Amino acid sequence: MASMMSTAGRDTAISAIEEYFDNGTFREDLARRVAIRTESPEPDKRPELYRYLEEELTPYLSDFGFDCVIHENPRPDGGPFLVATRTEDPSLPTVMTYGHGDVVRGYDDQWQEGLSPWNMTEENGRWYGRGTADNKAQHTINLAAIKAVLEQRGHLGFNVVALIETGEECGSPGLKEFCAQNKDLFKADVFIASDGPRLRPEQPTIFMGSRGVFNFTMTLELRGGGHHSGNWGGLLANPGIIMAHALATITDARGKLLIEEWRPQPMTNSVRLAISKLKIDGGENSPDIDEDWGEPGLTSEEKVFGSNTFEVRSFVTGNPRNPVNAIPPKAVAHGHIRYVAGTDPMTFLPSLRKHLDAQGFNQIELEAERDYMNATRLDPDHPWAQFSIKSIEKTTDQEVAVLPNLGGTLPNDVFAEVLELPTIWVPHSYAGCSQHAPNEHVLPEICRQGLQMMTGLWWDLGSGDTPKS
């Protein structure tokens, strides 16, 4: 009888969240949040970061029993944090959730005719606005679903600590320090949050970690200024040509990594099995995959979820805006590695140094850029992963795509390594959402299903039958 009642309650909570979407309230909440210009890469938008936390999220969360405290960032270049806690009973399980209120720059003048980053607009069944996908719809969904469970059940059956940061789009400065200094605040049994894309727009997805990212600069400065090529060509070494040759030793002409130490550990069987069930589909407007690019012998899914990749992000010599007939003095390339768990990022530059020196490129200087985010992964068989998969399948009646890690990068190392939590991500966007570019949007049907899934998941978390940690 008890379990029948709880199923009825679950269904009613899900109906209530459908109503929240269908009557336009979700859209209103999201549009109001999108309208706050929280562009963290713009220093003069700092007050907007505070406004998002103080005037938008704090009243919203306080209304259903959260204690909201805004904390300063331990780093001067970092934005504020909101820590919102709702404790029912310390003996109940505690979930930590996370979101980021900041967005990348709006690039207002580059959006399609009729669209603006700050005024959420529906067109062709999509909701356009900066931060819709990344990350405002995602945390709006998760918080609204908590509220729906509370309203239906009268209590949650679990405790929550929510961390909303405002610097993710700048590499989350200070997040690691803040969490390390406040471990007591974030004591939890599991971490469940949302960001990033689903594997395919129509398939519910979870991932349990992310690849890491490591950015670095390669600089070759041979002399103080340019010299006329008619007088000096053939006499002075050209740094652009040397840099091109150096880059060509890092991968072959089809992108295969040639530095042995940069290659990943072989995939474990459970990871290989999980990846074998995946099929990449970015949805409409996604680019065609170049099948003959990257690591030979791997499937497309293994390349993104189970391997390491190197990219040249930019490469400049001379002045591309005003090419002159001269030998440029300098060449600079910005490199970038995405890597899976099990690869040690501290070895990237030393092994590149050794590799370049062995090929005679010892004049090229190497420098790491900003903090790296480490790669993390949770085994797909972990009890919390299984719990979440079952709950989502119960709600949607669909098979969940299970990614051992996201191909992209999130500050998940802070939660998985500093706070030592099992980490579950339930993304509510899709790969074609144009996050970080003009025309960012969400698909309303994913948002609606995300609301249903999260309501079911929070409901189940409070039902007393959770994995023991």
Non-local (6+) Cβ contacts of 38 within 8 A are 45, 48, 49, 52, 101, 102, 103, 131, 166
> What is the nearest approach in angstroms of Zn ion to the Cβ of residue 371?
16
> What is the nearest approach in angstroms of Zn ion to the Cβ of residue 436?
6
Number of H helices, E strands in the chain: 14, 19
Joined together, the tokens standing for residue 373 give 């985010």
Select the span of 131-139, 149-157, 229-237, 352-360 touching Zn ion (CB under 5 A): 131-139
* Surface-to-core class of residue 406, CB atoms within 10 Å of its CB (0-12 exposed, 13-18 middle, 19+ buried): buried
Q: Measured from the CB atom, is 94 or 205 closer to Zn ion?
A: 205
Total residue length of the chain: 469
Q: Measured from the CB atom, is 39 or 134 closer to Zn ion?
A: 134
Amino acid at 184: D
Residue 29 binds Zn ion (CB under 5 A)? no
Strands, E, within 211-349: which ranges?
212-221, 227-228, 309-317, 326-327, 330-339
Mask for 89-128, x = binds Zn ion (CB under 5 A)? ----------------------------------------
Q: Measured from the CB atom, is 134 or 460 closer to Zn ion?
A: 134
The total of other beta-carbon atoms located within 10 Å of residue 277's CB is 13
Q: Measured from the CB atom, is 214 or 384 closer to Zn ion?
A: 214
Joined together, the tokens standing for residue 180 give 């390390």
Q: Measured from the CB atom, is 126 or 130 closer to Zn ion?
A: 130
The residue nearest Zn ion at its CB is 134
Q: Measured from the CB atom, is 29 or 134 closer to Zn ion?
A: 134
CA distances from 227 to 224, 236, 239 (A): 10, 9, 12
Mask for 212-241, x = binds Zn ion (CB under 5 A)? ------------------------------
Q: Which of 107, 63, 12, 129 is nearest to 447 (CA)?
A: 129
> What is the nearest approach in angstroms of Zn ion to the Cβ of residue 53?
18
> What is the nearest approach in angstroms of Zn ion to the Cβ of residue 135?
7
> What is the nearest approach in angstroms of Zn ion to the Cβ of residue 102?
9
Residues 126 and 132: beta-carbon distance below 8 Å = no
The order of strands in the sheet holding 121-123 is 121-123, 126-128, 441-442
Mask for 275-294, x = binds Zn ion (CB under 5 A)? --------------------
> What is the nearest approach in angstroms of Zn ion to the Cβ of residue 308?
21
- Using CB under 5 A as the binding criterion, the count of chain residues that bind Zn ion stands at 1
State how far the Cα of 419 lies from the Cα of 425, in Å rounded to an integer. Answer: 16
Q: Measured from the CB atom, is 133 or 146 closer to Zn ion?
A: 133
Q: Which of 201, 216, 191 is nearest to 411 (CA)?
A: 191
Select the span of 55-63, 74-82, 134-142, 289-297 touching Zn ion (CB under 5 A): 134-142
Backbone φ, ψ for residue 170 (5° rounding): -110, 15
Residues 293-322, interacting with Zn ion (CB under 5 A):
none
Q: Measured from the CB atom, is 133 or 220 closer to Zn ion?
A: 133
> What is the nearest approach in angstroms of Zn ion to the Cβ of residue 195?
8
**Which residue from 56, 134, 189, 302 is in contact with Zn ion, where contact means CB under 5 A?**
134
Select the span of 130-138, 256-264, 375-383, 414-422 touching Zn ion (CB under 5 A): 130-138
State how far the Cα of 278 lies from the Cα of 118, in Å rounded to an integer. Answer: 35
Residues 144-203, interacting with Zn ion (CB under 5 A):
none
Q: Measured from the CB atom, is 435 or 463 closer to Zn ion?
A: 435
> What is the nearest approach in angstroms of Zn ion to the Cβ of residue 442?
13
* Surface-to-core class of residue 323, CB atoms within 10 Å of its CB (0-12 exposed, 13-18 middle, 19+ buried): exposed
Q: Measured from the CB atom, is 107 or 293 closer to Zn ion?
A: 107
Non-local (6+) Cβ contacts of 264 within 8 A are 306, 307, 308, 339, 340, 342, 343
List residues near Zn ion by CB under 5 A.
134
